[in-house]
Amino acid sequence: MLIEKRVRFDAARGSLGAFLFGIARNLVRRRIEKPAELEDYAGPDDVFSDLTRRETIESVRRAVLSLPETYREAVVLCDLQDQSYEEAAQALDCPVGTVRSRLSRGRALLAQKLAVKV
């Protein structure tokens, strides 16, 4: 992709790591904004379970997309992509404490959005 689109790294604008994380961040952002393409999870004998799983995945996807961008980025990087706080901080170009704060707030917002209302 980098070669095909002739993306150019400029050392004056930052480190190579930050440049690559920025590209990855944009790709993830575009990917989560696309409609979900789900594979078949269950066989024909377990249609209810399959439907429930698909609905759950779609609910989580919508909830993540509805988060403000700063919180969504932290949740996607740390919780969905298993990056460390330090890796996420580098990708987001912010302090580790900011990542922790955004992640905490993002998780709280997600919990509210996904809470089952009885």
Q: What is the CATH number of the domain that holds 28?
A: 1.10.10.10
Helix axis angle, 85-92 relative to 16-33, nearest 10°?
90
Tell me if 4 is assigned to some domain: no
Which residues constitute the domain of residue 32?
A: 14-37+46-114
Tell me if 2 is assigned to some domain: no
User: What is the four-CA torsion angle of 86, 87, 90, 93, rounded to 10 degrees?
Assistant: -80
Tell me if 3 is assigned to some domain: no
Predicted pLDDT at 28: 75
Other residues' Cβ atoms within 10 Å of the Cβ of residue 86 = 10
> Of 104, 99, 100, 114, which Cα lies nearest the Cα of 66?
114
Q: How many residues does the chain have?
A: 118
Tell me if 6 is assigned to some domain: no
- Token pair 């004998």 is found at 45
- pLDDT tens column, 21-53: 777 777 777 777 765 554 444 455 566 677 777
Q: How many domains does the chain have?
A: 1
Predicted pLDDT at 72: 93
Tell me if 1 is assigned to some domain: no
Tell me if 63 is assigned to some domain: yes
Q: Which residues of the chain have pLDDT under 70?
A: 1-7, 34-48, 116-118
User: What is the four-CA torsion angle of 52, 53, 54, 60, rounded to 10 degrees?
Assistant: 110
Tell me if 82 is assigned to some domain: yes
Tell me if 8 is assigned to some domain: no
pTM value is: 0.58
Residue 115 CA to residue 118 CA, distance in Å, equals 9
Contact 61, 32 (CB under 8 A): yes
